[in-house]
Structure 1
């Protein structure tokens, strides 16, 4: 039974339910005895049966979590709770009556079985009705307030699908100012049908006329199955009509087998690569995180900050966010301030190579889960700063790993990269050693060490998306290093969600590889971005080939010839199996760290390359 803090609202709701319970039980007697209950039964009812039914039903209501949610958001799940609670309490009540009958305390004849059956039906209907009526009243009241204040927004939903159906509930619960006019869907079989009472009005070709006819103010795009041309035309129509258009992000919860809406945001160019809703086991994630002390390094970065946003939803007891960037950390604190979470949030300005301060943080907070996302990641820049790459990516990782072992962290998850596969860049080499050290540390303590490897993430700081957008805004040129350059891409939200899912799956020692789809040519991505901005590449925006930069490869690999890939229990996560390290890793790392103090960049690089090649 979940223990809840007492407040006036919960006491009031509990009192209403108990009143309904007593009323239902008495009405059941009235029905059974044709509105002529014997006086002796009335006395028995108030003296013995009422206290008993209050105790049994009250305990059942609290045990089944009646007061953990809000009545104004009541759903079919709440009705299901009522059915189970009433069924259980009725059976328990009947059992107690049988025991009391045998103990000669109370005769079963005083409470006929028919009364219990009638009460079961009555109380279920009455409890459910209060929730339904309250929700209907709340929604109507909110719509009325929005209308009176001029806040109603007429919207169309593009995609009459499962996500669209879930979006209707999401809007009614969280955005009462939205007035849903209908669906747009390109499946001709759905024409003139309705979903949750909302009609399918037509196809995307009819979007302009529907917007004009119904005075639509906003279009919400729920489907990722649109072709580039259809999406392009939809956006152009909205821009022409000066209509706001937004995308609906969703996930598929494996445990409940349902789509869940995560957010409604402005449409981004990077959403061109959005795939189907990511299937996630939210129950397992919540069990892993809820009430736990979670520490995240690199928390202000693109992946780290998204991990914070995902994790805080599951209410950890403490969320310790570490980053060396003051501005990034400040922005993260600003972003998370609007989240309704029970966790204690700590924003720590610290470098992971500051071993003394890192140890102090582990001593103070004693984290149970560590997500290590801190890293220097920019390939060309690391070629010019090899010493900092080694200190941060290798030494920093070793410090955090060793502290995780020392302070009994339950799980340690390293955010890795596909650049560790046959690495040619300093960034890739240093992350390769970091990944190997994490795997090396398994079985040296009770900590489960896990690495998660994936490719480029769209929209991160310094990635091609912000660069191309800036170049398009400035009128060009778009700069491409090589027309044959291709990369594996995924979105920040997808990467972060799958990192959490991999953490759930891991038992220690695994290197997980996220499913990246097919590689995308960077020049094709540039063409899409230019086209969606209303221009044509080479005609309106010039293309400039700059040449491959130092450390770059034309294409990346997800695993090497010495590694084997096997499926995990999750369709978008694979397991990489590799040979054990054939070198003395701690000693080699010590030697590398020493070389950063006195050796030249070329000498350090040769040593690092030799270390990689002796695997």
Structure 2
């Protein structure tokens, strides 16, 4: 219906109601027998009554509201408008020669509220009445009949009527495992069953799209739903949580496609925001490797904590420029200074620390590609060991309060040069903490989804190209965490640091790389082993089948945060460490570097040793 016609119809209906109500009230007051006198008085006052009522309704915004979405506020508006117009009519009536009886006025007030209210309720309820289906409509099933599910259902009901000719999402019903919700109605749609009934419901009700509306759902649950959707050729969408919905203004339903993070979803990380904010607020903070995956996310989260100044230190000018531009646009009041320098350049690093005097340092700069570092161990030693040593010594020399180094699970019982050099960096941090006024700590965690050089972007390219997807070994497992989750826990660990700790993050359960690849293929709408084949290429140099976060001897101590632990590490033999560092600086060949690392880290097993043990 045209908007002008709809508005005119509503005004005419309201006019008819307010013009008729005085007669109805008089009939009730006089028990059906209105005298000729009062009949004349009411008839005489009807034009004025209609004018006052409709004028008041207009002033209260009656005709600017979408009554089909009405709620409690709109009911109060109706009561207010009728009350104000009744008061005006009562005053005018009292000034006339023949006033209308107060009893009729009171009944008119009540009947107007009821009748006007009923017309609005009808408009509201009709919005949720089942609509006829067009050939373009999409049958939608919502998983989760809680607050988020109700939000999604309400948003679906608000789709513009004009869109219905072109096809819209039509709500078929809900799925929820709560027994008391079964067969209950929500926004005119029924809770049709439980999660175990999903495939049956999809088939029976011709569901084409499923909307997942459970914010706290775990990854295993999502994987099961995705598998059922693929079997039934049904799309899967993710609803925003209530916070995201509120931030977006709640105007349109912003559904998103399934992402890999959803399949690995764990319970959300709860930070002690007060502690982290106190740790960073008004501080001078420096991040090395600020253009990298972890470094840039650290910068984003630090920027939101109101530091006094944020230094972005990195070797690559393009990546530093990118994160600087992003932060300047979002945090216009924050002082940001980019610093293009290699962490191995001791002269430049010392000049920077002398001038900037950072109070908190997050050291994320490192070489992390395992196969590449196997071929260039001198580069791994130079950057991961001596680069860390250079930055840490500058922090000690110029009075940094807290220094947090980003480590890796590959430092535990390392089989790679990269892992061995990161374990050496941990030893340097532990040793420096003994004599320095700076609080030194390291944070150890596994792989992060979407980081540069990780397997995820490679799989995405291979799937887009039609395969095959290359898997090193069908049983390979890795710990995974999202970049924001890992970065937030690093900040929390920094706030917890007392000195000398190697913090270990709770990475959840390890995930099979093959399973992850299959999930990514399913997300792309394809079938693993059918549409996309796999190519098993064998372990690359330095790789393990399974990563560890701790050695068998270490164990952990709990901290004040449920997802952060500290490893029980042995004391560092300073004399032995210094001797080893000197030898590494003097090493003339790759094999000599491997020998020295094996001497310094007894748990290090180079690929040659692993092969010998297996043969």
Q: How far 1:466 sits from its partner (Å)?
A: 1.0
- TM-score norm. by structure 2 comes to 0.63
Output aligned runs, 1:131-150, within 5 Å.
none
- Change in Cα spacing, 1:510 to 1:166, as seen in structure 2 (3 Å) is farther
Q: How far 1:285 sits from its partner (Å)?
A: 0.8
SS in 2 for 1:555: coil
Gaps of 5+ in 2: 1-139, 154-168, 245-253, 605-615
Which position in structure 1 is the counterpart of 2:177? 187
Match of 1:591 among 577, 583, 588: 583
Maintained 8 Å contact 2:290/2:296: yes
Residue 533 of structure 2 corresponds to residue 538 of structure 1: no
SS in 2 for 1:280: coil
Residue 483 of structure 2 corresponds to residue 488 of structure 1: no
Output aligned runs, 1:433-472, within 5 Å.
433-472=424-463
Output aligned runs, 1:549-568, within 5 Å.
549-568=540-559
Match of 2:345 among 354, 362, 370: 354
- Change in Cα spacing, 1:469 to 1:207, as seen in structure 2 (3 Å) is same
Which position in structure 1 is the counterpart of 2:596? 607
Maintained 8 Å contact 1:389/1:427: yes
Which position in structure 2 is the counterpart of 1:512? 503
- Change in Cα spacing, 1:307 to 1:587, as seen in structure 2 (3 Å) is same
Which position in structure 1 is the counterpart of 2:224? 229
Maintained 8 Å contact 1:248/1:265: no
What is the aligned-residue RMSD (CA, Å)?
3.8
Give, in whole Å, the separation in 2 of the partners of 1:368 and 1:454: 24
1:221-280 superposed Cα distances (whole Å, 9 cap, x missing partner) = 63333341324556999x967x975655989xxxxxxxxxxx997642233101011111
Q: How far 1:351 sits from its partner (Å)?
A: 1.2
Which position in structure 2 is the counterpart of 1:310? 301
Give, in whole Å, the separation in 2 of the partners of 1:443 and 1:549: 38
Give, in whole Å, the separation in 2 of the partners of 1:553 and 1:244: 35
Maintained 8 Å contact 1:157/1:222: no
Which position in structure 1 is the counterpart of 2:464? 473
SS in 1 for 2:494: helix
Give, in whole Å, the separation in 2 of the partners of 1:156 and 1:342: 45
Greater mean alpha carbon deviation, residues 449-458 or residues 580-589: 580-589
1:113-166 superposed Cα distances (whole Å, 9 cap, x missing partner) = xxxxxxxxxxxxxxxxxxxxxxxxxxxxxxxxxxxxxxxxxx998656688899
- Change in Cα spacing, 1:527 to 1:366, as seen in structure 2 (3 Å) is same
Gaps of 5+ in 1: 1-154, 169-179, 252-262
- Change in Cα spacing, 1:212 to 1:515, as seen in structure 2 (3 Å) is closer
Q: How far 1:499 sits from its partner (Å)?
A: 0.9
Match of 2:359 among 363, 368, 379: 368
Maintained 8 Å contact 1:299/1:305: yes
- Change in Cα spacing, 1:167 to 1:571, as seen in structure 2 (3 Å) is farther
- Change in Cα spacing, 1:521 to 1:345, as seen in structure 2 (3 Å) is same
- TM-score norm. by structure 1 comes to 0.63
Instruction: Give the number of aligned pairs.
Output: 434
Which position in structure 1 is the counterpart of 2:120? none
Determine which structure has more spread, i.e. the larger CA radius of gyration. Answer: 2
Give, in whole Å, the separation in 2 of the partners of 1:265 and 1:296: 32
Maintained 8 Å contact 1:582/1:614: no
SS in 1 for 2:504: strand
1:58-86 superposed Cα distances (whole Å, 9 cap, x missing partner) = xxxxxxxxxxxxxxxxxxxxxxxxxxxxx
Runs of 4+ in 1 over 3 A off after TM superposition: 155-168, 180-185, 187-195, 197-213, 216-221, 231-237, 243-251, 263-267
Residue 331 of structure 2 corresponds to residue 336 of structure 1: no
Maintained 8 Å contact 1:468/1:478: yes
Maintained 8 Å contact 1:221/1:247: no
Give, in whole Å, the separation in 1 of the partners of 2:262 and 2:551: 30
Output aligned runs, 1:201-212, within 5 Å.
none
Which position in structure 1 is the counterpart of 2:318? 327
Maintained 8 Å contact 1:323/1:329: yes
